[in-house]
Structure formats: C-alpha cells, structure tokens
Chains A and B, each alone.
Chain A
Amino acid sequence: MILECEHVVAGYDGSDILKGLSFSLEKGTTTCIVGPNGAGKSTVLRVLSGLLKTRQGKVIFNGQSLAGRSTSQILSLGIVQVPQEHSLFPEMTVKENVRLGGYLLRDNALVNKRLQEVEELFPLVKERASERAVNLSGGQRRLIEFARALMLDPTLILLDEPSMGLDPKTLKQIFDSMKAMQEIGKTILLVEQNVRAGLSVATHGLVLESGKVRMEGSAQDVLHNPEIGSLYLGGTVK
C-alpha cells in the first residue's frame, strides 16, 4: 500500500467533516472518490496535501507518517495536489508556471530534464511556452496544471474536480491526460462530481458519506452498484 488512512478525524472551526475515515491506496491505481456535497471529498485531499491538520487518526504515505509535516515537506515526499479552482499564476508565462512546479528541486539540470519530459507528455507546454497563462482557455489551464504537478515526479497526484466548468470536448482531453499519467505509473486520487466520467477513468471507487467510507471496491463495481446508481447516478444503473 502506498497510502493508508486510519480513523482520520478532521474538519474546520471545531466541526468534524471526516469522522473516522479509513481507506488505503495501492501503487499505480486511480481511485475516484464520489459522494454527496459535504461528504468530505475535498477535505480528504486537503488533509493529504497538508493544508488541513488531522485531529485524530493516522495518515501513512510510503511508510512515513504525514502528521506535523508542512505542505512543502509533503510535496518533497511526493504528493502533489491540483486544486479545484484554477491555480496558475495568470501573468506569468506557461513555461514559468510549469517550472514553478519543480521549485523544490535544487538541481537545475534535473528541472530542465523534467521540463523536457513534461513537454513530451503535454505538447501544449512547449507550444504555448511564452504565452501568459491568463490567455489560455479553461481546459488548457487545467492541462498546464497537470504538467506543473508532474515536475516533482510525484508518486501520488491529488486531483480535485478537474472537469469542473469544462465542455465535453475539453473534458475528453483532460481524462485522456489522466490516462497518460496512469500509464507512466502515477497513483491518482481523484474527486469528481461527474461520477460516471470519474469512475470510468478510475480503477477503484470510494464512496464517502458523512465523513466515512460507505463503500469501496473496483470502479466498475461501484459504478454498477444499484444502490450507488440510485443515489448518485440518477437511478439509471441497475
């Protein structure tokens, strides 16, 4: 197991959102977290990236506890998050934005090597290198955010609703890029409102309800579970 969460309790302003959450991730898998609003989907990602501290429980990544670690220490361990809202620096160029993803790397040659690898995976990075990020479309920005996330060659990538606000054509590009990241061996933890699309790209599914795991299993099992279908897919899957 690459990640293990055991009885995690976390929340905001005195109230608990995650109420004893336990789950684990296998290396190289893509897990899609689904659940109703307020179930704690995004909170899980905030805990894993160090933006929110746990009140109880343990989070073990690659055999190391994440307790008390800062966001940059967690980045160094190999966990990166692509947040829900667009997070590029709008007035900086595409290349500058992507380079910033490898900010923790001290070796400049390694940064250039990673940049080259990322350019191969996301040709847009090279094509629009000197363009300011503000001039890109929503989908292009998302792709550049993916590219930036890969600069540290992370083990675990946290994606918070990457499809939000995108048209179907762009959505396909985004999911294709996720598949490309899977192919190079990255472990992905995905939160997705578009449940069907999220589970179709994932290998595993995790259903959250009121801060606890209600169901987990292979993505296909979750997708075709009648109860889940009636709750989150409009009752169409039987």
Chain B
Amino acid sequence: MKKAESIILLIILVFLAIFPLIFSNPSTTSVAFFAVIFAVAAAGWNIFSGYTGYVSLGYAVFSGVGAYSLALICQKWNIAGGYTPFAFVLVAGLIAAVFALPVGWIILRTRRHVFVVVTVATLFIMQLLAYNLEGFTGGSAGITLPLPSWTGDFFNMPFYYGALILLVVAVSVSWLIRHSKFGLGLLAIREDEDRARSLGINTTMYKLIALMISAFFAGTVGAMISYFTSTVFPAEAFDPLFDIAVALMAFFGGVGTLAGPIIGALLLETLQQYMSLQFSTVGLDLILFGGLLLVVILLLPEGIVPSLFKLVSKMRASHESTPIPSSSAESTDSERLAVKEGKNG
C-alpha cells in the first residue's frame, strides 16, 4: 500500500506540474494556487499532528509568523516585487521553525484535549499581539507587501510553481520521515507515548523536532499567501478558520498517511474556492461545504485514502478466498499460471 500511495502522489505531482499549461485562465490558476498551497499546509500539518497524533488547531500561529516575517523583511530591506521575495519565503519558514521551539517547549507539556485547547489559545494570543504591537506589525492596518509588476495572464504562474516546489519538498520530507527511524518513533508516540518512552524513544525531543519541521512549512505557506495577496493583517494571518480548514483537509484525505492530506487539500480547497465563486452571495457555499463534510464523515470516517485501501484489501481478500470448484481445479490452475505469466511478460 505504501508503494501505491507513492505512485498516487507521483501522478498527482505530474498532473499539477502540467495543470497551468492546460488551464491557463488566471481565475483557474488562482484557485489552483490556493489548492496547492493548502496542500503544502496540510502535508506540513500532517508531519506533526498526523504522525504524532497531537491534533493542533494552532497551526496558523506559524503561518502567521511566516507571513509577518516576509512582510517585515520586504518592508525593512526595501525589497521590490518580483522573484526576490520568493527566496525570503524560505527564510520566513525558518523563522517560523525557530519560533516553534519555545512555543513547543511550552505547549508540548500538555496532551490530548488539553493540547488542542492550548494550541487554540496560543493562536488567539498571537492574534492579539499582532493587533497590539502596532509599531512592529502595523496593528489592524497591517503591512503591505511589494506588488510584482507581472502582467495579469502571467501573474499567478510564479506563485503557482513556487507553491508546487514547496509541495514537492513537503511530500519528499514527509516520505523521508515516514520511512525513517525518526518517523517510526513519531508513529510510536501516536500509538502510545508512554510505551514509546519505555522503548528508549526521546519523545519530548521527537515531538519538538516534528513541530519545528511542521512549522517551517506553515511559515512558507503564510509567506506565500501574504505575498500573493500583497497584504498581511492580524485577523487573516492568525485565522482560526485556516486551522480548521487544514485539519479538515488532512482528516478528509486520511490523517497520518502520505497522500491523504494532499488529496484532501486539493479536493476541498478547489471545491471551497469554486463554491465561493459560484454561491458566495447567498452563503450557499458554506451550507453545501458543511453538508458535504458531514456526508464524508459519515461514509468515510477514516478519510479517503485509508478507506480506499481498506476497500481494495477487502476485495483482494474476498477474491483470494473464493473457493475453486474441484472439477475444474486443473484448468483453474493453468488459467492462473497463464494470468501470472501474462502479468510478468
């Protein structure tokens, strides 16, 4: 199944790479940019919350730090719009990762429901700080980022491919972690933290490292979105809806899996953007979106990827357990051999 998941991911990435060449309409590529950047967010969220089981609803703390970091870098160093700010997106990610160290040191003293509540509280503390530290963040007026001078048709392309590069990095890091000793330790923490510790796993350090890696991607996402929209405000940078959306995307696709959060983000963000465009005037988009989520939770509680894999396993098992009629046993064996040879050949 791991191999199948890797193949699915590869197909998705190839499709995303050629997508703007097929659908070049700016409104379509704008939706695609948000879908891809949210896929980065969901993959990053999954590295900490999916692998360790610590469900964070304060992921926007780090995306907000990334957004403000890029805005302040551009403002203080007079960086003009264009390709240069993209290089600082990585710096914004690193700042968010470093910021995760003291935050994690505090919030990771809690577990389960308390941890979820503490992450939400941290988010609102950050939002309040952003509103009140006016000299630093610009308060409610926010900070304006430089606007690239690209034409309307081309404008979305650098952002889209920038987001896609981040997605490739996020997928690669997720894959490497999942197949490493470190990843095995994180999964053990998710299953039973005390047992993991009794086997010699340094659970505190592992959780902190996973949070920092996760925060790096959140920081880059925040920076990319703020550069794309050319502004950063406290309410948008530290938005609780961002957290809920990212968590839902991961759960929708399959939390803790490689491909799940990415598939969830690509489907849900595209749908949300489409519905917002089509029905936002009457608020129908939110009703439809909420209804759809309820249906998915009822029918696929584990998410798309695990449910599909379970279905495939069941079908395989039922196929293998089908009794072979004794009279035709010989012919069935030869048919099987032919099929096997056909497959190999």
Contact = CB atoms under 8 A, between A and B. Distances in A.
B188 A92 contact: yes
Interface string A100-112: 1101100010000
A74 to B, nearest CB: 9
Interface stretch (B169-177, B197-205, B272-280): B197-205
A92 B181 contact: no
B200 A89 contact: no
Given A89-B191, A89-B192, A91-B191, A100 B184 contact: yes
A100 B198 contact: no
Interface string B154-193: 0000000000000000000000000001001101100110
B195 interface: yes
A103 B181 contact: yes
A71 B195 CA distance: 11
A219 B148 CA distance: 84
A101 B199 contact: yes
10 contacts: A49-B198, A71-B200, A76-B200, A81-B198, A87-B195, A89-B187, A89-B192, A90-B191, A103-B199, A104-B199
A221 interface: no
Contacts of B184: 96, 99-100, 103
Contacts of A223: none
B188 A100 contact: yes
A92 B187 contact: yes
Nearest to A89: B191
CB-based closest 4 A-B pairs: A89-B191, A72-B200, A104-B200, A75-B200
A51 interface: yes
Interface of A: 49, 51, 71-72, 75-76, 81, 87, 89-92, 96, 99-101, 103-104, 108
B207 to A, nearest CB: 16
A48 to B, nearest CB: 13
B194 to A, nearest CB: 10
Given A75-B200, A87-B195, 8 more contacts: A51-B198, A71-B197, A71-B198, A75-B199, A81-B198, A96-B184, A103-B185, A103-B200
A151 to B, nearest CB: 9
A89 B202 CA distance: 17
B43 to A, nearest CB: 20
Contacts of A81: 198
Contact of B199 (A51, A91, A100): A100
Contacts of B191: 89-92
A108 B197 CA distance: 20
A96 B187 CA distance: 10
A99 B187 CA distance: 13
A49 B184 CA distance: 23
A152 to B, nearest CB: 8
Contacts of A72: 197, 200, 202
A146 to B, nearest CB: 15
Scoring A87, A89, A91, A108 by chain B CB atoms within 10 A of each residue's CB, the highest score goes to: A89
A148 to B, nearest CB: 8
Contacts of A90: 191
Scoring B184, B185, B187, B200 by chain A CB atoms within 10 A of each residue's CB, the highest score goes to: B200
Contacts of B187: 89, 92, 96
Contacts of B200: 71-72, 75-76, 103-104
A127 B192 CA distance: 25
Scoring A49, A75, A100 by chain B CB atoms within 10 A of each residue's CB, the highest score goes to: A100
A51 B197 CA distance: 11
Nearest to B198: A71
Contacts of B188: 89, 92, 100
Nearest to A108: B181
A104 B196 CA distance: 12
Contacts of A76: 200
Contacts of B181: 103, 108
A85 to B, nearest CB: 10
Interface string B237-280: 00000000000000000000000000000000000000000000
Nearest to B183: A96
A122 B313 CA distance: 26
Contacts of B197: 71-72
A91 B199 CA distance: 17
A77 to B, nearest CB: 11
B320 to A, nearest CB: 15
Contacts of A75: 199-200
Contacts of A51: 198
A99 B196 CA distance: 12
A96 B191 CA distance: 12
Contacts of B202: 72
A75 B184 CA distance: 18
Contacts of A87: 195, 198
A104 B187 CA distance: 16
